[in-house]
Structure 1
């Protein structure tokens, strides 16, 4: 091979290899300092696409887990208030049972009504004040709440909490106390006209359900047949003792300013409109009064034992309503807690998958860096030797 000055092939070859080695060492330094195997798309285009998809999933699952935990907080807030609602209903039921005893005088029944009214007001306050982050939970106005508990779109990534059946305002409305004068009124011109022959009462609900009851023979407190009555109150008490009547209706007495009974107010336990069969009832001295066939007002009546009996049935219905609502919320809370656990496992597994694709194997990369470092030093030394190889030409020029 000839001796040349202008072109030093050995130096060029050494420089090319040295540049490649330095490039490899630079990449190794970048990977070691960042901890990432893929710092740009050119490092691994396919791996970058996969790892970015996994990164989106992990980020979405992390936020979804927080959403599920917020869902638990919402449910706990609602269920906690319902727990107190149930305690109030239990107390109102105790009062209704107490009111069912005729040993209570007017003042006692008034005291019971006063406490029930106060407790009902508290139910109304709970319905209006229970909220989470400004969202009302127990007033029945918010039909449902949706919670995003997945990283993707679709119904499988959402849980809907139904609040339409958690309406405490309806419970409060059902417990509104009445004075005992709601229902259908029947005037009595004279209690002396009353006798114990058949009187027929009929209840018709808004849905068209008709319930008819005929009192064939009224009895006194001893169970003996009673055909004459000392007062309107006496007649009302006899009606209340009739099994068929008391199973479907409650009765109270309207009074004048002197406290004398002037008529009856009959209320259907099913909330229907009460009327009488005139041919049967007129014979015993009952005549439709000024509030003829007025729909029975919602609420509780503690003025009579019969009214208290109806109140107990109403309260039991509301207790069952609240118990069912609490059970539903409890089931949803358990579901949210299961979601949080599932998301934690999925996040861990997807993070591990992304790490295997994108993160640097520090030990392996350090081996590459050491190799490149040694080759760089060797290449630099060899480049110096290559640059000296053409110095022999000078001896020919002397």
Structure 2
């Protein structure tokens, strides 16, 4: 076995230093994974895993926003149904007034006063129809409002609310100032109540659908988040064990580097 000494090139020290650099890089990676809790912090950590995780994150973000969109849709429907409930209450009162005016015991003055009250109520229906908005959008126009309720562009749900105008409900021009007029008004108002009940049932069905959509979106987002975590999250026990091993290697390497750097001094002693 031969022993070679050189003052121009300390091969042992160079090799140990290279190993120390590798160990330090691994320790830096372990620091990042342990401190962030993520195994994949950039494409350099795992190119394929990073690409997959970003695609998953895109879908997760879309699902979460779609959930918010659907919840906003529920709020919009609640606003509309609240207005329809008010109109229904007014129609019930109008029907009561018409029924009262149709009774033969009412004189002309009584019927005139009842008709004034009914006219005021019809004006309130017009105000509700015209003034009910959600986020500055008029609701009772019959226009379809598209809700984005999925992470994909095609996953939309159209919602529309029919007009509550007097003409649409077939109750314009009512006059209960006479018995005959009051009887005709009863028929029209009762038909309007039936029509409005149908509107409310449709709105309720859409709201139920949106509620189920919200639950499904939340479940899908949670499952996808869990799947992404299996790719990106740090296995803390495994990584900390690896980190401890790297610390030992670093300490041993630094010690060996110190010994290797003493070789030139040994050569000088031979020359003395």
Structure with the higher fraction of residues in helix conformation: 2
Give the aligned partner of residue 21 of structure 1: 23
CA RMSD of aligned residues (A): 1.8
Match of 1:25, SS?
Answer: helix
Q: Distance in 2 between matches of 1:304 and 1:120?
A: 18
* 2:146 corresponding residue in structure 1: 146
Q: Does 1:320 align with 2:194?
A: yes
Given that 1:61 and 1:150 are in contact with CA atoms closer than 8 Å, whether structure 2 keeps it comes out as yes
Q: Which has the larger radius of gyration?
A: 1
Give the one of 55, 60, 65 matched to 1:58. 60
Aligned-pair CA distance for 1:60? 1.3
TM-score by length of 1: 0.64
Distance 1:395 1:92 in 2: 117
Q: Which has the higher contact order (CA 8 A, sep 6+)?
A: 2
The whole-number CA distance in structure 1 between the counterparts of 2:137 and 2:178 is: 41
CA distance in 2, matches of 1:124, 1:162: 18
Q: Deviations over 1:143-193 (max 9, x none)?
A: 111111111111xx2111122x2x1113577323xxxxxxxxxxxxxxxxx
Q: For residues 9 and 74 of structure 2, what CA distance do their matches in structure 1 show? A: 78
- Residues 79 and 329 in structure 1, CA contact (< 8 A), matched pair in contact too: yes
Q: CA deviation at 1:303?
A: 4.1
Q: Secondary structure at the match of 1:109?
A: helix
Deviation at 1:377, TM superposition (A): 0.7
Between the aligned partners of 2:252 and 2:212, the Cα distance in structure 1 is 60
Q: Which contiguous aligned blocks of 4+ residues in structure 1 show a shift greater than 6 angstroms?
A: none
CA distance in 2, matches of 1:173, 1:68: 29
In structure 1, which of residues 317, 332, 337 is the aligned counterpart of residue 211 of structure 2?
A: 337
Contiguous gaps of at least 5 residues in structure 1: 177-298
Question: May I ask how many residue pairs the two structures share in their alignment?
Answer: 270
SS of 2:261's equivalent in the other structure is: helix
* Structure 2 length-normalised TM: 0.92
Q: Which stretch of the first structure deviates more once superposed, 88-97 or 5-14? A: 5-14
Aligned twin of 1:4: 5
From the superposition, tell whether residues 106 and 34 of structure 1 become closer, same or farther in structure 2 (CA, over 3 Å): same
